A = this chain, B = another copy of it.
Amino acid sequence: MEISKTGNEPIYIRVVNNFKKQILSGILKADDKMPSVRELALNLTVNPNTIQKAYQELERDGYIYVVPGKGNFVSGKITKVKNQAIKDEIITLRNITEKLYELGVSEKEIIDEIKKIGGKLK
């Protein structure tokens, strides 16, 4: 994993988002072992506290679980977490769509914008 040291967000947030992406996309699978806090801290040359914070947040959000004395592991309930993440994003999507309608943007223009992104990602 590479984490650029500069950016708008604190390092631990970027570590969190990085792992979330890997877990949601299936690169990291259920019960896979996460790198140990110390190991990852050395790799990224950051303070172990930073990694500790990141892992705590991942656990709170249901992405990983801790086995004391063993390490951190990817949760088996990723489908549930994923569905929640999708629901959250859909709510935001609705809010933005409503605002765009209020600002006079047409349904067609919004859909065109979404198709553009789909095209890019393929």
Contact = CB atoms under 8 A, between A and B. Distances in A.
Interface residues of A, number: 48
Interface centre among A70, A77, A97, A105 (most CB of B within 10 A): A97
A103 B77 contact: no
Contacts of A6: 30, 76-77
Given A7-B76, A65-B8, A117 B94 contact: yes
Contacts of A90: 100, 113
A18 to B, nearest CB: 13
Please tell me how many copies of the chain the complex holds: 4
9 contacts: A7-B76, A8-B75, A13-B67, A82-B103, A90-B100, A92-B92, A93-B100, A93-B114, A111-B114
The 3 A-B pairs of least Cβ separation, nearest first, read: A6-B76, A107-B118, A7-B76
Interface of A: 5-11, 13, 21, 24-25, 30-31, 60, 65, 67, 70, 73, 75-77, 82, 85-86, 89-90, 92-94, 96-105, 107, 110-111, 113-115, 117-118, 121
